[in-house]
Amino acid sequence: MKLKLPQGVRVDVVEGARIAVFSLKANRLRTVLTTMGIGIGVATLLAIVGIIQGLNTSFHRQLATFGANTIYVSKFPWIIKGDWWMYRNRKDITLDQVERLRHAAPFLTALSPSVQRVSDVEHGGEQLSTVRIQGVTQEYLAISGYEVTAGRFLTEADDETTRPVAVIGTEVADGLFPGISPLGRTIRVDNRTFQVVGTLSRKGKVLNQSMDLVVFIPFKTFYSSFGKGRRIEIAMAVEDASKLKQAEDQLVGILRRIRSTPPGQPDDFSINKPEAMAQTYEQLTGALYGVAVGVGLITLLVGGIGIMNIMLVSVRERTREIGVRRALGARKRTIVFQFLMEAASVSAVGGLLGTTVGLGTAKVVSLITPLAADVQAGTVAGGVGFAALVGLLFGIWPAARAANLDPVEALRYE
């Protein structure tokens, strides 16, 4: 069933729109300046929101590379809050604890100890700096989300026999072996030679750190080559992401028992999850988002005040016209519709132009800077709609003032 407006209301809307358009055409310069005011506000707001939404989307996409069903246990939390020395004084995780955890937590589908360092990597005359060298076991592939694009990943035999083999990320492969296959070739890490047995798929960056500038070697090979004085992190995966919280709760009890943590004492280990990083990120950026949107809204408010000012001037200039229309029988609501339509039209046009400029600005920023931009359709519609709403709100007083003019006094106005 279609909603039908009363005949009088339809006439008022159509007639008000026609007169509003005629008035805007008659005062082109004023209309353009007023439109620019509201357009700048919308453009500012959309550019800011677009960049922030892009950062949020990019951050969550980066976190997805860790996997939705993964847990990492280490001595330090990924994001340190409070006293750093409290974490520094914790006991290191040991290999014995890793093995005890493996047998005590059957709900884990994969578990791998992990140690790492940063070093230069060489092949022939090529060299890459600050490459992450990471010692892991064969189960790490199922946890990390990497895929082998050529060759193979590390095996249990590689680890048990401490073979000097390596699986490299795409950035290492492209930098050291441009245009050729790295399989079967050797790389040097701190004067130690490793044979490349596999290459990995590209994962991009997480928190501005490349996930492809990496070399994986067997865990025991890392210990024999670079010593045992490295902190161990335990990477784990559960079968179902919906059971992650349950697994975390069980891990706390198991780890406290394995590490002999006294009752009543705080945990002397950190359970890290990508979800926790996302929550911390949202807390850190929430205030920034509010301030940025507030700046855009203030700019829109200034544009709305400009509309009100121009509409009040328009009411004064057209006082005799209003008096004639009222004397000929025009109702108050007809006058109100006319001026509200005029204010909303200016705002909507300004909002449309501002949306175009704001989207363009956000895209340009994403092209020339590391900042991403991702403006959603709802944000665009909201920007135009909100601009029109600003026009309506700031047009109410001028419209009411015009409608309440005394027809006799209006006709005598010079």
Q: Hey, is 270 helix, strand or coil?
A: strand
- Residues 192 and 198: beta-carbon distance below 8 Å: no
Between residues 96 and 396, the one the model is more confident about: 96
Confidence grade of residue 391 (pLDDT, cut at 50, 70, 90): confident
pLDDT digits (tens, 9 = 90+) for 229-288: 788 999 998 887 778 888 888 998 999 999 988 888 888 888 888 776 776 677 767 777
295: enclosing H helix or E strand: helix 274-317
d(CA 101, CA 93): 11
Report the relative pairing of strands 192-200 and 108-123 from DSSP bridges.
unpaired
Confidence grade of residue 369 (pLDDT, cut at 50, 70, 90): low
Residues 6+ apart with CB under 8 A from 234: 72, 73, 74, 93, 98, 101, 111, 112, 113, 114
- Residues 281 and 105: beta-carbon distance below 8 Å: no
Between residues 357 and 330, the one the model is more confident about: 357
Considering the chain, what is the average pLDDT of its residues? Answer: 80
Q: Hey, is 70 helix, strand or coil?
A: strand
pLDDT at 21 > cutoff 60: yes
Note if the pTM is more than 0.75: no
* Location of structure tokens 């860790």: 66
Between residues 341 and 98, the one the model is more confident about: 98
Alpha-helical (H) ranges within 260-273 are none
Residue ranges per structural domain of the chain:
7-62+279-411, 69-272
Task: Report pLDDT for 128.
Answer: 93
How far from the centroid of its chain's Cα atoms is residue 364's Cα? 17
Residues 6+ apart with CB under 8 A from 309: none
pLDDT digits (tens, 9 = 90+) for 108-119: 889 999 999 999
